[in-house]
Amino acid sequence: MENIRVHRPPTPRRPPTRRPPARRSPRRDSGKPPRPIPKVASDTFRRARRRRLVARRVACVLALCLVVALFSFGTLTHGASSSGRGHVRSVSPVEAAALPSPPGPPPPNMGQVWVAAVARDPSPDLATGGVGTSGIRIALTFDDGPDPRTTPLILDTLKERGVEATFFVVGRQVAENPALLRRIVAEGHAVGNHTYDHADMSGLSAGQMRDELRSTQEAVDDALGHHHPMALMRPPYGNPYLEGSAALPQFREVVRGQRLFPVAWTVDPGDYLLGDDADGVVRAVARADAAGREGESDEVVLLHDNQGQTAEALPKIVDYYEGSGRRFAGVDDLLADKYLEP
């Protein structure tokens, strides 16, 4: 028998079963507008968050106030010992850290010296005739600064050697270098007025002379942060003394009105003419000192703190004078001896 093959049709695939969508009950239309979603929970959350923000801000403000109070208390405690120093203008914290405290009258008291001087001399001065006071002391003086290149070197030497000096400052230099002026005063040196623009006083009117002197005083006060009355002045170029100018009577009247002692010199080595020759400055000091000495006489030495050769020569200049058996003094000391001694 032949094998008979029965042809069977393929079994059709069943489609995936799909769940019928859930039947939703039809919304009943009541004819009324939909009720709004209650806002009670939302408003409560907002109020709570607002309260937390306010609390945080209050806490920050209180913390800031506490920091300020602690800082103010520390400042008052630190400055209690200096509360009697007088009025000081407001300055920034950076300036305040660098400003020397307003000093009391330095010895000698130049106010007392002035009173005694004008009672005896209508035009009190020092060494304007090239003659010093009686003694064997040396007063080092520096003109035309402060200069940022060389004045610090000179101050370093003076501090290291324990020497007091007098700086006759130019007002515009003080305005440009206030920190140097503060250092000069803080280290115990006297400051004198050398006019604001290094002006030749013999060519100025009385009003212009006063302006030059007052502007320099203001520059010094601004640099220090308090009034620091200068009792000394040196006219640039030594005029009107050296030229015998007709302006001398007017000049004397102006400086007397400003309560200033004009100070000249007895030793002028011409340091500003010697370039970079520091040893030449030392030799010039020795020559000028020998030529000007007549017996035992105090000397006022003219130097310039804007000269590099002078800064370099200063240690040897100190050695020279100390080796001659003389000691250093301030210009104010010489003036006190001149006018306070009977």
- Domain span including residue 333: 110-340
Does the residue 38 lie in any domain? Answer: no
To the question of pTM greater than 0.85 for the whole model, the response is no
330 CB contacts (<8 Å, ≥6 apart)? Answer: 139, 164, 165, 166, 189, 190
- Quick check: is 48 in a domain? no
Q: How many domains does the chain have?
A: 1
Domain-located, residue 57: no
Token couple for 60: 């920050």
Cα distances (angstroms) measured from residue 335 to each of 123, 142, 195, 262, 321? 13, 17, 21, 11, 21
How far lies 2's CA from each of 5, 7, 8, 195, in Å?
9, 15, 19, 144
Any domain includes 141: yes
Residue 86 lies in a domain: no
Q: How many CB atoms are closer than 10 A to CB 113?
A: 21
Domain membership flag for residue 227: yes
Tally of CB atoms within 10 A around 199: 20
Structure token digits, residue 217: 């005083």
Q: Which residues belong to the active site?
A: 143, 304
In 188-244 the beta strands, taken as DSSP E runs, fall at 190-193, 232-233
Q: What string of pLDDT tens digits covers the 342 residues of the chain?
A: 445 454 555 555 555 555 555 454 444 444 555 555 455 455 665 666 677 767 777 777 777 777 666 766 554 444 443 333 333 344 433 343 355 555 544 457 999 999 999 999 999 999 887 766 778 899 999 999 999 999 999 999 999 999 999 999 999 999 999 999 999 999 999 999 999 999 999 999 999 999 999 999 999 999 999 999 999 999 999 999 987 778 999 999 999 999 999 999 999 999 999 999 999 999 999 998 887 666 578 999 999 999 999 999 999 999 999 999 999 999 999 999 999 876
> Which residue reads 């800064």 in tokens?
311
| Residue 19 placed within a domain | no
CATH of the domain at 117: 3.20.20.370
HEC string of 69-100 equals HHHHHHHHHHCHHHCCCCCCCCCCHHHHHHCC
Question: Minimal CA–CA distance to 147: which of 116, 186, 176, 121?
Answer: 176
Residue 263 contacts residue 131 (beta carbons within 8 Å): no
**Residues near 174 by Cβ (< 8 Å), separated by ≥ 6?**
146, 181, 216, 219, 220, 223
Distance CA 66, CA 71 (A): 9
Residue 195 in any domain: the answer is yes
